[in-house]
Amino acid sequence: MRALLVEELAPEYGGCVLKEIETPAPGPGEVQIKVRAAAVNFPDLLQTRGEYQHKPPLPFIPGMEVAGEVSALGEGATEFQIGDAVVGGARIGGFSEYAVTPAAILRKKPESLSFSQVAGYSTAYLTAYVSLVRRAQVEAG
């Protein structure tokens, strides 16, 4: 599969390369997702520089939020079926054709929304909300 791989920590995505790598298999309680959309968040950028609190070992695939279809199930992952449209977070791995994440942090994608619309459901949405409502104190009118 193709993935954006961080091989070294550097500013301006300087340590990132697009590579063909082995498709990850889900472990117990995990789900493999065929990624249809991924949100780009500020923490993703910080991770590529080594400036985020979660520092995965090199090399790693950034990407905290994904939306896609379940393509494989790990042992004990019974919440979903292959082909289900899902959305959820992953600490890393979203900037790839396939991502693996715990089934417990996924949700079924609302049918009324596209994969692109729901990809930023958690981190991107909450970041924008907190920035506008709590920090900038934007109000109606």
Domain boundaries, the chain: 2-135
Q: Is 112 exposed, middle or buried (0-12, 13-18, 19+ CB in 10 A)?
A: exposed
Mean pLDDT along residues 15-22: 98
**β-strands 2-6, 85-89 pairing:** unpaired
pLDDT exceeds cutoff 90 at 68: yes
pTM of the model: 0.88
The CATH number given to 2-135 is 3.90.180.10
pLDDT digits (tens, 9 = 90+) for 82-132: 999 999 987 789 999 999 999 999 999 999 999 999 998 777 777 788 888
Return the H-helix or E-strand segment holding 46: helix 42-49
How confident is the model over 28-46, as pLDDT tens digits? 999 999 999 999 988 898 9
